[in-house]
Structure 1
Amino acid sequence: MSTAPQNPTARPTAEQVEAAWKDPKLANVLYHDWEAQSYDDKWSISYDERCIDYAAGRFRLATGWDGRPYGHALELGSGTGFFLLNLMQAGVATTGSVTDLSPGMVAAALRNAEHLGLPVDGTVADAEILPYDDDTFDLVVGHAVLHHIPDVEQAFREVLRVLKPGGRFVFAGEPTTVGDAYARTLSRLTWKAATTVTKLPPLQGWRRPQAELDESSRVAALESVVDIHTFDPADLEAMATRAGAQQVRAVTEELTAAMLGWPVRTFEAAVPPGKLGWNWAMFAYHSWQRLSALDAVLSRVVPRAWFYNALITGTAGQWG
């Protein structure tokens, strides 16, 4: 029997967190329900030009998209709808469906879609058993979702089942094994430094209340259960190919950009909401842009497995 909270906005109890250590899917529900209300702020997610360009840029990097829109798109592990809603605003798809194991995230994604006036429906669903008929979608997308799914190859099989013949999938934001190692190290060091320095009297205004820090640390500890996989790009390609995908291709991005981005995000999570302001957000974004440009040059000589983010695309087979 599930011990997930009936109210998706409720904070998980200590008993629920303890049960989640043995159940990755329950951990995903608890963790993402807990984060749903503040997720967009935590990750500096928006639905304006900045994130529209980011989402479309990832799609182009993976696919070489020529600008022609797809019809009906499905997002797996949609979270608050960041990837699909921004792709729709960029003209990648005309209608959308969002799915997530977390009821709180599905609700947040549908609220965001309604606010943007986008034709999107949604349902709570397991990526390994999608509640859709064969040959339903023209496009399936996901951002930072595959590493949460226990059986990634089964999820690929489900994606190919619900895609129309010739339909495409695109998954972005997946951690590489090498990238995850340095990102987590930098995040731990940043969290320790930020929560230690802000104990000093002159900087206590920059410190979250201790109860918030304790709660954050307790539930954030579930990341070790929620984040099940890291990927070598070649292994990710092999999984999709075994599932039956065609024209499979994985690319990677963010090396120096990730070495800045993870400490920045961790610092933002350690200080009170709104403390850093718009200027900080623009500094972080423009710094990421500049380092991403550098990484594009480095990608010519640095092995793809060393970069933090993996993106993978492929197509469902044509009949006949």
Structure 2
Amino acid sequence: MSTDQAPTPHATAEQVEAAWNDPKLANVLYHDWEAGTYDEKWSISYDERCIDYAAGRFRLATGWDGRPYGHALELGCGTGFFLLNLMQAGVAEKGSVTDLSPGMVQAALRNAEHLGLPVDGTVADAETIPYPDDTFDLVVGHAVLHHIPDVEAALREVLRVLEPGGRFVFAGEPTTVGDAYARALSRWTWKAATTITRLGPLQGWRRPQTELDESSRAAALEAVVDLHTFDPAELEAMAGRAGARDVRVVTEELTAAMLGWPVRTFEAAVPPGKLGWNWAMFAYHGWQRLSALDAALGRVLPRAWFYNALISGTKPRR
């Protein structure tokens, strides 16, 4: 399969107006607009740093023993970050990608080709996955469930396309508590950064704020593409209702999220390239140290307090 729809990187005013009341259209238009710069925006790479990150999330969710899965599907693939890095880590031998956004599917397939990985893909709705029953050994996704209108329906589809005994893993999903403090920290950081950089000596640190035009009006849809946050126990129950077995939700990033979200917001408030390599190393190593602290805190604090939820489960064997 291959992507068979053209992306819409520059949405019309009429399309954007309609998308405010249509979450699937909003996700298509917003992510088509984002596809060309998404990896840069989120510091996504396909080297050791992100390979280790993806494999670490998979291991945290599943206790993976190092044996590869045969054929894996990434649902809501974006640019392929999760699956492609998992494949490089040896988690899966062959891959397929789907996303509502044609632009993202194209980006994922380009990245796979550049890396020499055996991956095909198609534009698809997560609630109606266009593959036969019992197709995949593994289904994965990263930061996708919170964009899907009917998450339980999507999980039922995931179980349908998994082989009996196959596993699913979704990572990077915001908890309800975590999303509240992350958004608050981001708002405060944005307000402080954009206020301080109005001062004369610091104006060179202010990113120009331009009006949305026909090339970027889909950016406004960022406000409506995130549909859900999750309580870990409720997410487990939802997967159980969908028919999954061995369901487990773990969470991570408390202090790391309290650093990470202000850092990303500040980076968005200043001109690209202004902060330099030392800043990048501070942000990365700071995240690593606080993640180690959070691993210890996770043994004593409620899992609902942490920002990232990771869910894993299996399809019942016949």
TM superposition score normalised by structure 1: 0.94
**Is 1:185 aligned to 2:184, yes or no?**
yes
1:35 offset after TM fit, Å? 1.0
1:270 offset after TM fit, Å? 2.0
Q: Which amino acid aligns with 1:130?
A: I
1:269 offset after TM fit, Å? 1.7
Tell me the residue number matched to 1:109: 108
1:15 offset after TM fit, Å? 3.0
1:279 offset after TM fit, Å? 2.2
Contact 1:134-1:164 at 8 Å conserved across structures: yes
How many residue pairs get matched? Answer: 314
1:243 offset after TM fit, Å? 0.6
Contact 1:70-1:94 at 8 Å conserved across structures: yes
1:221 offset after TM fit, Å? 4.2
What secondary structure is seen at the aligned counterpart in 2 of 1:227? coil
What secondary structure is seen at the aligned counterpart in 2 of 1:222? helix
Tell me the residue number matched to 1:119: 118
**Alpha-carbon spacing, 1:61–1:216, altered in 2? closer, same or farther (3 Å):** farther
Map 1:43-192 onto structure 2 (within 5 A): 43-192=42-191
Contact 2:98-2:124 at 8 Å conserved across structures: yes
**Alpha-carbon spacing, 1:209–1:35, altered in 2? closer, same or farther (3 Å):** same
Q: Which amino acid aligns with 1:280?
A: W
For 1:9 and 1:200, how far apart are their aligned partners in 2?
39
1:190 offset after TM fit, Å? 1.4
Q: Which amino acid aligns with 2:271?
A: P
- Which range is displaced more, 205-214 or 14-23? 205-214
- Which range is displaced more, 173-182 or 196-205? 196-205
Contact 2:172-2:308 at 8 Å conserved across structures: yes
Tell me the residue number matched to 1:37: 36
Q: Which amino acid aligns with 1:54?
A: Y
Tell me the residue number matched to 2:25: 26
Map 1:146-295 onto structure 2 (within 5 A): 146-211=145-210, 219-295=218-294
What secondary structure is seen at the aligned counterpart in 2 of 1:301? coil
Contact 2:10-2:215 at 8 Å conserved across structures: no
**Alpha-carbon spacing, 1:257–1:176, altered in 2? closer, same or farther (3 Å):** same
What stretches of structure 2 of length at least 5 have no aligned partner? Answer: none
TM superposition score normalised by structure 2: 0.94
For 1:134 and 1:189, how far apart are their aligned partners in 2?
47
Query: Structure 1: which 4+ aligned runs deviate by more than 6 Å?
Result: 212-218
What secondary structure is seen at the aligned counterpart in 2 of 1:134? coil
What stretches of structure 1 of length at least 5 have no aligned partner? Answer: 1-5
